[in-house]
Chains A and B, each alone.
Chain A
Amino acid sequence: MIAYVIRRVAYAVPILIGVNLLTFLLFFVVNTPDDMARMQLGVRRVTAEAVEKWKVERGYDKPMLYNATARGFDRFADTIFYEKSVRLFAFDFGNADDGRSIRHEILTRMWPSLALQLPVFIVGLAVNITFALLMAFFRATYLDFWGVVLCVAMMSVSGLFYIIGGQYLFSKVWNLVPISGYASGWDAAKFVILPVAVGVVGGIGSGARWYRTIFLEEMGKDYVRTARAKGLAETAVMFKHVLKNGMIPILTGAVVVIPTLFMGALISESFFGIPGLGSYTIDAIQAQDFSVVRSMVFLGSVLYIFGLLLTDISYTLVDPRVRLE
Chain B
Amino acid sequence: MIPVLLTTDVLVWLLVAAVGAYFAYVRRQPHLLVPWRRVTRSASGMSALVVLAVFLAIGLLDSLHYRPALERGGEQGGTVYAVEALSVFDAIASPLRAHRERTYSAPLATRAYARETLEIPGADGRVRQMREYPRLAWGGAHLKDEAEHGKDVLLRTLSGLALALFAWGVLVAGVLAASGSTWHAIWRADTATPWWAVLLAAGLLLALAGPLLALCTGYHVFGTDKVGQDVLYLALKSIRTGLVIGTVTTLVLLPFAISLGIMAGYFRGWIDDVIQYIYTTINSIPGVLLIAAAVLLMQVYVDRHPELFPTSAQRADLRLLFLCIILGLTSWTGLARLLRGEALKLRELEYIQAAQAFGARDSYIIGRHILPNVMHIVLISLVMDFSGLVLAEAVLSYVGVGVDPSMISFGTMINAARLEMSREPVVWWVLAAAFVFMFVLVLAANLFADAVRDAFDPRVRVGGVASA
Contact = CB atoms under 8 A, between A and B. Distances in A.
A314 interface: no
Given A156-B439, A158-B439, A285-B399, A304 B292 contact: no
Nearest to B431: A164
A59 interface: no
14 contacts: A22-B281, A22-B282, A26-B293, A26-B297, A27-B297, A39-B299, A156-B387, A159-B395, A164-B421, A164-B431, A212-B468, A290-B296, A297-B286, A304-B286
A157 B387 CA distance: 10
A168 B427 CA distance: 12
B3 to A, nearest CB: 33
A48 interface: no
User: A-B pairs with the 8 shortest C-beta distances?
Assistant: A220-B464, A300-B286, A18-B281, A156-B443, A156-B442, A301-B284, A304-B284, A285-B292
Nearest to A140: B466
A15 B394 contact: no
Contact of A43 (B297, B303, B443): B303
A158 B400 contact: no
A71 B387 CA distance: 56
Nearest to B390: A158
B304 A38 contact: yes
B463 interface: yes
A297 B293 contact: yes
Nearest to A34: B304
Interface of B: 277-278, 280-286, 288-290, 292-294, 296-297, 299-301, 303-304, 387, 391, 394-395, 398-401, 410, 414, 418, 421-422, 426, 431, 435, 438-439, 442-443, 446-447, 450, 463-466, 468
Contacts of A220: 463-465
Interface of B is mostly: helix
Contacts of B300: 31, 35-36, 38-39
A186 B405 CA distance: 40
B345 to A, nearest CB: 18
Nearest to B288: A266
Given A168-B421, A285-B401, A152 B465 contact: no
Contacts of B468: 148, 209, 212-213, 216
B446 A156 contact: yes
Interface string A133-175: 0000001100000001000110111111100100110001000
A152 B447 contact: yes
A147 B354 CA distance: 48
A161 B278 CA distance: 35
B466 A216 contact: yes
Contacts of A38: 300, 303-304
Contacts of B280: 15
A153 B443 contact: yes
Contacts of B465: 213, 216-217, 220
Nearest to A210: B468
Contact of B391 (A22, A35, A158): A158
A305 B284 contact: yes
A288 interface: yes
Contacts of A250: none
A117 interface: no
Contacts of B387: 156
Given A158-B435, A164-B431, A288-B296, A19 B421 contact: no
A23 interface: yes
Given A156-B442, A157-B439, A30 B297 contact: yes
A53 to B, nearest CB: 19
Nearest to A42: B303
A172 B428 CA distance: 13
Nearest to A135: B468
A310 interface: no
Contacts of B294: 26
Nearest to B290: A297
Q: Which of B290, B431, B464, B465 has the most CB of A within 10 A?
A: B290
Nearest to A20: B281
A263 B304 contact: no
Given A35-B304, A140-B466, A172-B421, A158 B438 contact: yes
A15 B277 contact: yes
A14 interface: yes
A179 interface: yes
Contacts of B426: 168
Q: Which of B288, B395, B426, B450 counts the most chain A CB atoms within 10 A?
A: B288
A121 to B, nearest CB: 16
Contacts of A297: 285-286, 289-290, 293
Interface in A1-35: 14-15, 18-19, 22-23, 26-27, 30-31, 35
Given A15-B280, A220-B464, A27 B293 contact: yes
Contacts of B450: 152
Interface in A266-310: 266-267, 281-282, 285-286, 288, 290, 293-294, 296-297, 300-301, 304-305, 308
B443 A296 contact: no
A152 B48 CA distance: 13
A30 B292 CA distance: 15
A260 interface: yes
Contacts of B400: 282, 285-286
A14 B450 CA distance: 39
B197 to A, nearest CB: 14
Contacts of A36: 300
B435 A161 contact: yes
